[in-house]
Amino acid sequence: MGLLRRIRRGDRSHLVEQFLHQGDHVRAIVPAQGGLHPFTLLVIGVTALIGVVFTVDLPWLQVTLMSTVAFAGAAVLTISRYRLLAITDADVVVMRTRALRPAKPVELLGRVERTAPFAVRGTTWGQIIVGAEKVWVHRRYHAQLHDADTQLAAAPRGMRAASSTAYRGTRAKKKIRNVGSRHR
pTM above 0.75, yes or no: no
Q: Cα–Cα distances in Å, from 130 out to 36, 57, 93, 112, 114?
A: 16, 49, 10, 7, 9
pLDDT tens digits, residue range 45-59?
888 888 888 888 888
Q: What pLDDT sits at residue 171?
A: 54
Q: What percent of the chain has pLDDT over 90?
A: 26
3-37+80-182 folds as: PH-domain like (2.30.29)
Q: What percent of the chain has pLDDT over 70?
A: 77
| Domain boundary assignment for the chain | 3-37+80-182, 40-79
Q: What pLDDT sits at residue 19?
A: 87
Q: What pLDDT sits at residue 125?
A: 93
Q: What average pLDDT score do residues 8-27 get?
A: 75
Poorest-pLDDT segment among 6-15, 57-66, 119-128, 166-175: 166-175
Among 27, 44, 34, smallest CA distance to 137 is for: 34
Q: For the chain, what is the mean pLDDT?
A: 80
Q: Cα–Cα distances in Å, from 178 out to 8, 19, 167, 169, 170?
A: 34, 21, 16, 14, 12
pLDDT tens digits, residue range 79-101?
889 999 999 888 899 999 988 88
Q: Are 80 and 33 within 8 A, CB to CB? A: yes
Q: What average pLDDT score do residues 111-121 get?
A: 88
Residue 70 confidence class, pLDDT cut points 50, 70, 90: confident
Question: Phi and psi dihedrals of 32, rounded to 5?
Answer: -145, 165
Whether the predicted pLDDT of 157 surpasses 70: no
Q: What is the largest CA-CA distance in the chain?
A: 76
